[in-house]
Amino acid sequence: MLKKIQRAFALSEQGAKDLIKGSVACVFRDLALMFPVGLLYYLVRDLLTGTAPNGTFYVVGVLVCLALIFITTYFQYNATFFATYTESGVRRISLAEKLRKIPLSFFGKKDLADLTSTIMADCAYLETSFSHYIPVLFGSIVSTVVVSLSLFAFDWRMALASLWVIPVSFLIVAFSVRVQDALSQKQMDAKMACADGIQECLESVRDLKSNNAEQDYLKGLDKKIKAVEKRAIVSELGTAVFVVTAQLVLKIGIATVALTGSVLLVDGTLDVLTFFMFLLVASRLYDPFQAALQNFAAVLATRTHVARMNEILDHPVQSGSSEFHPDGCDITFDHVAFAYNGEEDVLKDVSFTAKQGEVTALVGPSGGGKTTVSRLAARFWDASQGKITLGGKDVSQVDPETLLSMYAIVFQDVTLFNNTVMENIRIGRRNATDEEVIAAAKMARCDEFVSQMPKGYQTMIGENGTALSGGERQRISIARALLKDAPIVLLDEATASLDVENETLIQSAISELVKNKTVLVIAHRMRTVAGADKIVVLSEGTVAEQGTPAELMKQNGIYHHMVQLQTKQA
């Protein structure tokens, strides 16, 4: 049962237990709210029969009712609201942990706004459902069943007259499942399109302004915002049609109780006191159920949000052994093939070896698969076919975090954090001393621009290094790699943002890392890889050529053509 609840509402095991507790607490609270009705019944009975009311009994009864309502409300509040906030935190953390272990190919199908919405908005909706909808709904159902059984003990005819509207109302709302699913999905799609548009606008505002495209883009964004508004109205209207109809049917119950009771009263088969009691119970029973019908509709609407969370939670993760003892650091691609999302192949039958202590350069036309090769080597993705080994060990059998401890990577697109220069470099090795950080920064030629900053290495550089130039950001990224001092270095266009002078300086710094290390370099500038020990030319997803720079120049192939072309351009 716990597993089914976890699956249905995307809850942890403790969250499922807390949901049951919350539902039970709501049952007791609803039953406690019926006690004043019973007390009022006894008072009316005394008045109708001419019996003098026992003041002490009713005073004590009122106090007991108040105490029961207070206690049950207290436990209900703790079992729903407080437990909800705990579960919401657990769910966000579990989603983030799962995302950390999911293959990066998953992120190629999802954009940042979508994932952010799942962790924040969908979890927030879960909070509301967990605290306001689900326990209250289950509590209403169970307490109604208990009250219904007691009503049948008084008079089955009046009980049927009172209760027939409840299943009919629920069936009306239940029939809206497909409609609500469709409306919720369309509303979610509109929200995601709007969120994507806003994020894209913020990220590309400089390009939009520089190309005088800002007004046109904002017009399109305005349409997306209006689409969200429209879908929200349609979704609310679609839900209201069923809920209001069900509530209308529920109101008919009071009429059927009054009519049935009047007929039975005239026939003499029902006494006035019982008639009054059923009218009293009906008025108390239907009001909470109006809210319960809304809760039922809201619970049905959670299916879209739960499905989005389960999509992440159910996605297979990259696993492997945390024990990894390679025999050296040679990286070997053995007939490797790879395709994004299982579609057209990006790599086809790629085989080569990047040896320890050597620089292996990956070159070739754009789209040839160079970056994909470097990502596969670090197990950002898993190969579709073939095998990739590090030191003779299959990387697909190694835990990704364990494997990445062997790599220092410098990406073409640098990511920096809104922190100091010192802490941005220290990410390479968290336990590094300030002296070690500064030494790595000097090797990466960062010291010359950091020394001119107001607070030196303690200067805040803004979100993603907005206070720095492209070349300065790249040098900080290289300093991280130098600080990590891993046995394998991956450089993806590491010097693309540097001028010729700084590129030469960085190349000399990188050359200090090569000793006894495996270095994979991706570059479009042929002068960058002229000193490489081995060149692997990738074209259309295959290894077109491989060998030393001198050997490839003699072959008069792709590498020779690229060198000649760039030499002429220079």
pLDDT in tens, 322-351: 888 888 889 999 999 998 766 677 899 899
Least confident of 416-425, 527-536, 561-570: 561-570
Average pLDDT of the chain, as a whole number: 83
Round to whole Å and give the CA distance between 561 and 559.
Answer: 5
Which element (helix H / strand E) includes 84? Answer: helix 83-101
Contacts (Cβ under 8 Å, ≥6 apart) of 201: 208, 217, 218, 221
| Residue-level pLDDT at 67 | 92
Round to whole Å and give the CA distance between 533 and 537.
Answer: 13
List phi, psi (to 5°) of 379: 60, 40
364: alpha, beta or left? (left if phi > 0; alpha if psi -120 to 50): left
pLDDT range class, residue 506, cuts 50, 70, 90: low
Question: What are 409's two structure tokens?
Answer: 């990577």
- Does the predicted model carry a pTM greater than 0.95? no
Residue 370 CB: number of other CB atoms within 10 A?
Answer: 25
Round to whole Å and give the CA distance between 189 and 18.
Answer: 31
Question: What are 131's two structure tokens?
Answer: 């605290």
Contacts (Cβ under 8 Å, ≥6 apart) of 407: 378, 486, 488, 489, 490
List phi, psi (to 5°) of 100: -65, -25
Distances (CA, A) of 523 to 193, 374, 401, 527, 569: 35, 12, 26, 9, 17
Edge-first strand listing for the sheet containing 385-390: 345-354, 331-339, 385-390, 393-394
DSSP H stretches of helix in 102-213: 112-117, 123-128, 134-154, 156-163, 165-174, 177-203, 205-210
pLDDT in tens, 189-226: 888 888 888 888 877 887 888 788 888 888 888 999 99
Q: What angle do CA 249, 252, 258 make, to 5 degrees?
A: 160
**319 DSSP 8-state letter:** -
The dihedral through the CA atoms of 238, 243, 246, 252 has a sign that is negative
Round to whole Å and give the CA distance between 289 and 140.
Answer: 7
pLDDT in tens, 391-449: 889 998 998 888 888 998 888 778 888 889 999 999 988 889 999 999 988 888 888 88
pLDDT range class, residue 512, cuts 50, 70, 90: low
- Angle separating helix axes 214-267 and 156-163, nearest 10 degrees: 160
Q: Would the pLDDT of 505 be above 70?
A: no
**130 DSSP 8-state letter:** I
pLDDT in tens, 446-488: 888 898 888 889 988 887 777 787 778 888 888 888 889 889 9
Round to whole Å and give the CA distance between 196 and 333.
Answer: 37
Token pair 């809206």 is at which residue? Answer: 176
**Long-range contacts from 34-42, C-beta under 8 angstroms, 24+ separation:** 34/143, 34/147, 34/281, 34/284, 35/64, 35/65, 35/68, 35/69, 36/62, 36/65, 37/280, 37/281, 37/284, 39/65, 40/280, 41/273, 41/276, 41/277, 41/280
pLDDT in tens, 75-101: 888 888 888 888 888 888 888 888 888
| Terminal Cα-to-Cα distance of the chain (whole angstroms) | 71
**105 DSSP 8-state letter:** G
Residues 329/356, Cβ–Cβ less than 8 Å? yes
The number of angstroms, rounded, from the C-alpha of 46 to the middle of its chain's C-alpha atoms is 61
